[in-house]
Structure 1
Amino acid sequence: MKASVIILSYNQKELIQACLFSLSQQCLDEGDQFEVVVIDNGSVDGTGDLISRHTYNFPLQYQYIPASEHSSRAIARNRGITAAVGKVVIFLDGDQLAGPDFVYEHLRVHKRAEGKLVIGFRRYLPEESIDIKELHPGWVQAALSSSEADERFRLMEYFSENGSVFRTAWHLSFNCNFSANKDLLIQSGMLDEEFKGWGLEDSELGYRLYKAGGKFIVNKKAMTFHIFHPSEFDENRYAGWKSNLDYFIKCHPIFEVQAQSILKDFFDPGVRKSWWDCYIRFEKVVRAHLSYDGDRLPVSIIVAYTGGSELIQKISEEAADREVLVIDKTSSSDLDIFCQFIHEDYDVLYYRQPSEEQLIELYHRYAARGIAKHDIFR
């Protein structure tokens, strides 16, 4: 399978060079391949010259869009989608380093089912934590030990590592690390080019894909590392985000879209509540609106030390009657993906290799609701 990695860049030539170098170290299955499409959204710092002076071990398209009053992230990324030759489009920002399994992990999902929408994750590097000009073979270990996890990791610990559990997964489809089938993106109309400035054009695309029947898969192994650079949530950024939110609601005037207003308490520099607290409220409000009551009933618990079709069938059968808590103890399997392919009346609450502390917390939480069954697959 072939992927097209679409990278958006603007006046960050050193960062984009590091990003491209990280992509040169990808580990792929035999027969898989990828190209890179860099969309330069009006840079004046010599980004194009720097890219042209180097050679890469993957095909690279470089396209320059002159800056204008009409410039936007949506227009630039749509240019990349149109230019892509891969079956799968992976969005990546130019200020990130791709882990060596980044492309592999996106393709791992798409090769197992058509039409899935894959949400990857990121960690934040502190200033000068690694030398981005020369990524030595052990850079990933150094980055993992020094970086701060994306708060969406906390959401997975709280709710599940199963994307279908989130009633607001469409909002989490950030174009810094997200993939979908190219044909599906084109059929959806791609990104709405009326969005200007920063924020929400990717979530709105995710919402349209979701309403068209798309299924979100979260894959915490599809990892990137955000390179440190100064960035502030000031009044101007908040005003742009709020304007885009108003446009989003105008396009989709229904409750779950309007409920994103809860997140204003994070983006508003005069308030600045934690993103975590705001998002928990957002997700729970939408759940209440949808009247899902499965999270108040007893659960089935399945502990898996081995995978296989029998296990998947058992999980599916249990999820037809009640929520299922799946504790994945397998050393290596695709259970993290296959559990997200199950769509029954109740949620599959999946956790891979939870820590002892997390495991105790999970059992305490679900014991309070009642445990209907407890099975172990060895």
Structure 2
Amino acid sequence: MRISVVIPSYRARDALELCLLSLARQSLDADHTAEVIVVDDGSADGTDRMVAAFPAGLDLRYVQAPRSPISGPARARNLGLARATGDLVVLLDADQVVAPTFLAEHARAHAGDEDLVVVGRTFQLGDGPVDRERLRYEFSFEALPPVVRGDEREPVLEAFGCELAGLETAWHYVWACNASVRRRHLVAAGGFDEGFTGWGLEDAELGYRLLRRGLRVRYHTEAAVYHEPRGPVSAAMYRSWRANLAHFTAVHDELVVVLQRALAPALDPAAPGPGRYACRIRFELAARALAGRHRPVPGG
């Protein structure tokens, strides 16, 4: 199997370098090869020079996309998908670090089943120094800041006592910071919807279409990424999320899509309401009621 890793990047030179260093340490067997496609979405921070100077040993391709009004993760990922040659596409963000088994675990999750969307675990790293020089010659967790938070999806799965596929809202949790699917399925689905610009929901909408095309979702905990520190949702990010939600609901005129409004109170920095966990529980409960699944409380 050939694996294509597609990474959109915008003003993330230093974070991207760490991501690439970790991808250069992948332990794939002789039956697997990998290419890494970086799509620079109009950066002016020296990303091009960093990639050009990156040490040999990684099948690395660089795509430079001029900044425009339609720039964003959806368009950047599509540009990467257009250049992918692998049977399996792994979607990753620039500010992720991965262990040496990352790609092998994604490939293993797809073994024997070609109709899966696999999503992996996401850990949040805390603030702290990164030993970049050590990462240049070996992967070591000791070179990274400590993990401060686990995957935000897992408390929801625990509350409902099910696998990710058991959620009515499973498509919403197809996060492109760590997901994989056969390239032919992405091509058949038309890739990402470039009507999504800025931050939020372009990956959930792709998940929505893929699952409605008959694919199944699997949460594979062994395929983990380690997310570099990030700040809270800003006002600009929230406006982008609301605009993308409006686009989502315009494209898919179904009530379960509209129910994502339940998540807004947890994202609005101007009027913070319930936390993300509480909003996600409400979202799933409403979706279950809509689908006729009578389970009034999580764990009940």
Alignment match, 2:183: 182
Residue 26 (structure 1) shift: 1.3
Change in 2 beyond 3 A, CA 1:73/1:138: closer
CA contact (8 A) 2:70 2:194 kept: no
Residue 117 (structure 1) shift: 0.3
CA contact (8 A) 1:72 1:195 kept: yes
Alignment match, 1:21: 21
Alignment match, 2:225: 224
Alignment match, 1:48: 48
Describe the superposition over 1:153-178 as per-residue Cα deviations: whole angstroms up to 9, x where unpaired. Answer: 22233334622111111100111111
C-alpha separation in 2, matches of 1:53 and 1:142: 22
Which TM-score applies when normalising by structure 1? 0.74
Give the gaps of 5 or more residues in structure 2: none
Residue 115 (structure 1) shift: 1.6
* One-letter identity of the residue aligned with 2:222: K
CA contact (8 A) 1:130 1:139 kept: no
C-alpha separation in 2, matches of 1:143 and 1:36: 22
Change in 2 beyond 3 A, CA 1:76/1:256: same
Residue 33 (structure 1) shift: 1.5
Residue 145 (structure 1) shift: 5.0
Change in 2 beyond 3 A, CA 1:133/1:147: farther
Change in 2 beyond 3 A, CA 1:132/1:174: farther
User: Is 1:148 the counterpart of 2:165 in the alignment?
Assistant: no
Q: The residue matched to 2:134 in structure 1 has which SS?
A: coil
Residue 133 (structure 1) shift: 4.8
CA contact (8 A) 1:24 1:56 kept: no
Matches within 5 A, 1:3-22: 3-22=3-22
C-alpha separation in 1, matches of 2:222 and 2:21: 19
Alignment match, 1:309: none
Describe the superposition over 1:267-294 as per-residue Cα deviations: whole angstroms up to 9, x where unpaired. Answer: 111124211110011111111211124x
Q: The residue matched to 1:222 in structure 2 has which SS?
A: strand
Alignment match, 1:102: 102
C-alpha separation in 2, matches of 1:95 and 1:200: 18
Alignment match, 2:211: 210
Change in 2 beyond 3 A, CA 1:141/1:283: farther
Change in 2 beyond 3 A, CA 1:235/1:287: same
CA contact (8 A) 2:3 2:87 kept: yes
Residue 58 (structure 1) shift: 2.6
Name which structure has the greater RCO, CA cutoff 8 Å, separation 6+.
Answer: 2
Residue 141 (structure 1) shift: 6.2
* One-letter identity of the residue aligned with 1:164: A
Kindly tell me the number of residue pairs found equivalent between the two proteins.
296
Alignment match, 2:281: 280
Describe the superposition over 1:4-44 as per-residue Cα deviations: whole angstroms up to 9, x where unpaired. Answer: 00011111111111100011111223311211000000110
Tell me whether 144-153 or 57-66 shows the greater mean CA deviation: 144-153
C-alpha separation in 2, matches of 1:144 and 1:113: 36
C-alpha separation in 2, matches of 1:140 and 1:112: 31
Describe the superposition over 1:131-189 as per-residue Cα deviations: whole angstroms up to 9, x where unpaired. Answer: 24532756236759533212112223333462211111110011111111111001101
Give the gaps of 5 or more residues in structure 1: 297-364, 370-378
Describe the superposition over 1:196-253 as per-residue Cα deviations: whole angstroms up to 9, x where unpaired. Answer: 1110111111101111111001111110001124x33222211110111011011111
Tell me whether 53-62 or 242-251 shows the greater mean CA deviation: 53-62
Change in 2 beyond 3 A, CA 1:158/1:133: farther
Which TM-score applies when normalising by structure 2? 0.92
Tell me whether 70-79 or 133-142 shows the greater mean CA deviation: 133-142
Alignment match, 2:170: 169
CA contact (8 A) 2:192 2:206 kept: yes
Alignment match, 2:61: 61
C-alpha separation in 2, matches of 1:138 and 1:178: 21
Q: The residue matched to 1:178 in structure 2 has which SS?
A: strand
* One-letter identity of the residue aligned with 2:186: L
CA contact (8 A) 2:132 2:143 kept: no
C-alpha separation in 2, matches of 1:134 and 1:161: 40
C-alpha separation in 1, matches of 2:70 and 2:33: 34
**Percent of aligned pairs with the same amino acid:** 34
C-alpha separation in 2, matches of 1:15 and 1:110: 28
* One-letter identity of the residue aligned with 2:196: F
C-alpha separation in 2, matches of 1:68 and 1:267: 26
CA contact (8 A) 2:129 2:145 kept: no
C-alpha separation in 2, matches of 1:161 and 1:267: 25
User: Is 1:192 the counterpart of 2:166 in the alignment?
Assistant: no
* One-letter identity of the residue aligned with 1:271: P
User: Is 1:268 the counterpart of 2:268 in the alignment?
Assistant: yes
C-alpha separation in 2, matches of 1:29 and 1:275: 39
